[in-house]
Structure 1
Amino acid sequence: MSGLAEQLLTAIDATPRGGTATAADGEERLSLGVSHADGLAVAFTELRLETPRLKDATVERVRAVAEKLTQRVTYLLEALTPVEIDRELAVVQLRSTTPQQDNESSAYYELLVRTGGALSLRRYRKPRGAMREPIDATVTREVLARLVSDFVIALS
């Protein structure tokens, strides 16, 4: 487990519901919007890694990081795949390959990799005929630590 992941898990325990847990290692900074946490799992609004390693990244570099993430992050509810590459802004958007569906809506992960230095993971629900809305993503603490590690590894 990376030092950033360990710091974040410790910070979660000290963060009230609705607060933001943070961890830092040099110039890299993690933030997690905590909705609920217990000894086993964490529900969060957004996992975000700010890093100078993507500060002036080209779209090719951003795309390479996104590709590494699709290869490494295979353990969420749905697999991730690139759906849009904005060459002007150098942003790659990854989404769930097969969103979770029910009779009223679909739910999916969205991971953005951007030049300027940020990776962010959120979960959304899109009711039929309505705009999407952010919802909590719930993962075990072990999966959260793995996500953090995979974010860092994808940047190397």
Structure 2
Amino acid sequence: PYSYAPDCFPSLIEHHVHVVSPDTLPGGGTQGEKGVAVLFCDLDGFKAINDRYGHHVGDAVLVEVARRLTAAVRDGDTVARLGGDEFVVLADGLGREDAEDLGVRLRSAIAPPIRVEGRTVRVGASFGVSWAGCGMTADEVLQSADQRMYVEKRSRSRSHRRVG
């Protein structure tokens, strides 16, 4: 389900099914370890859309991005908008490769042009992946995923990011 606030986030962490987070193992875990993957998403090029076309177009873009993210995840996964152009996806039972594949799939879902009021706009997305480890607070997990998102955003050249 899609929500505007990560209200379910603490309960998902408290009831996770993994024994060890892939993030906490030496070398970052192996394919066999699974955990609650947290994908922090920041839209690339969204500010330009808001500035050029107005907040009503930006709002329509956010609604479409939320729809696309929700359509691209499994039934038990959660998509939440944190605010502005930031989203988070919670997906339990994923290993490192699965979580990275999910990030690629979500980025691809966002990439196609969006039609709003007769205009075609594009946004891209940067994702940071982290895991909810035993004893971590929701803030700690989100901060970790947010930091990884900025590393990912900086690692891609500007030409590989979609803009309005």
Same fold? TM cut 0.5? no
Instruction: Give the structure, 1 or 2, with the largest relative contact order (CA under 8 Å, sep 6 or more).
Output: 2
Q: Which has the higher strand share?
A: 1
Alignment TM-score, normalising by the size of structure 2: 0.34
- The structure that is helix-richer by fraction is 2
TM value normalised by structure 1: 0.35
